[in-house]
Amino acid sequence: MLLYPKNHKRSAIYYDICFMCGIAGIISSNSSLVDKRVIEKMMQSLSHRGPDGSGHWISPANVAGFGHTRLSILDLTENGKQPMHFMGRYTIIYNGEIYNFTELKKELTKKGFSFESKTDTEIILIMYHCYKEHCVNYFDGMFAFAIWDEEEQILFAARDRFGEKPFFYSFNDQDHTLYFASEIKALWAAGLPKNMDDSMLLNFITLGFTQNPLNAFATFYSNIKKLPAAHFLKYNFQIKQFDIVRYWAIDKSKKIADLKMEECIEQFSELFNSSVKKRLRSDVSIGTSLSGGLDSSSIVGTILKYFTNDLPGYNLEDLKTFSAVFKGFENDESKYINLLSQKLHFKNYQVSPGIDELLNSFEDICYYQEEPFQSSAMMAQYKVFEMARDHDVKVLLDGQGSDEILAGYTKYYHWYWQELLVTKGIRSSAIERKSISDPGASRGWNYKNYLAAFLPKLAGKMLTKRVSAKQKNHPFINKDYLQSNFDQTFLFKPVVRKLNDILHFNTFQMGLEELLRYADRNSMAHGIEVRLPFLNHQLVEFIFSLPTHFKIQKGFTKIILRKSMESILPAEIAWRKDKIGFETPQKLWMHNPLIQERIHEAKKKLVAKNILNPNVLSAAIQPKDALEEGNFDWRYLMAATYS
Q: Which residues are catalytic?
A: 21
- What one-character-per-residue DSSP string does 458-516 give? HHHHHHHHHHHHHHHT-TTB-HHHHHHH--GGGG-----SSHHHHHHHHHHTSSHHHHH
Please, what is the Cα angle at 180 between 175 and 185, to 5 degrees? 115
User: Which residue, among 127, 200, 104, 159, has the nearest Cα to 487 in the 3D structure?
Assistant: 200
3-class secondary-structure state, position 366? helix
CB 514 within 8 A of CB 200: no
CB 590 within 8 A of CB 634: yes
**Side chain identity, residue 158:** A
CB 461 within 8 A of CB 383: no
3-class secondary-structure state, position 309? helix
> Cis peptide before 623, with omega less than 30 degrees from 0?
no
Rounded distance between C-alpha atoms, residue 505 and residue 514, angstroms = 13
Please, what is the Cα angle at 568 between 439 and 561, to 5 degrees? 50
- Number of CB atoms found within 10 A of residue 141's CB: 24
> What end-to-end distance do the CA atoms of the chain give, in Å?
42
User: Which residue, among 302, 191, 388, 255, has the nearest Cα to 565 in the 3D structure?
Assistant: 302
Give the CA distances from residue 630 to residues 99, 470, 475, in Å, rounded to whole numbers and listed in that order: 41, 10, 11
3-class secondary-structure state, position 453? helix
Task: Kindly give, in sequence order, each residue whose CB lies less than 8 Å from that of residue 617, ignoring residues fewer than 6 positions away.
Answer: 600, 603, 604, 607
CB 75 within 8 A of CB 83: no
CB 501 within 8 A of CB 452: no
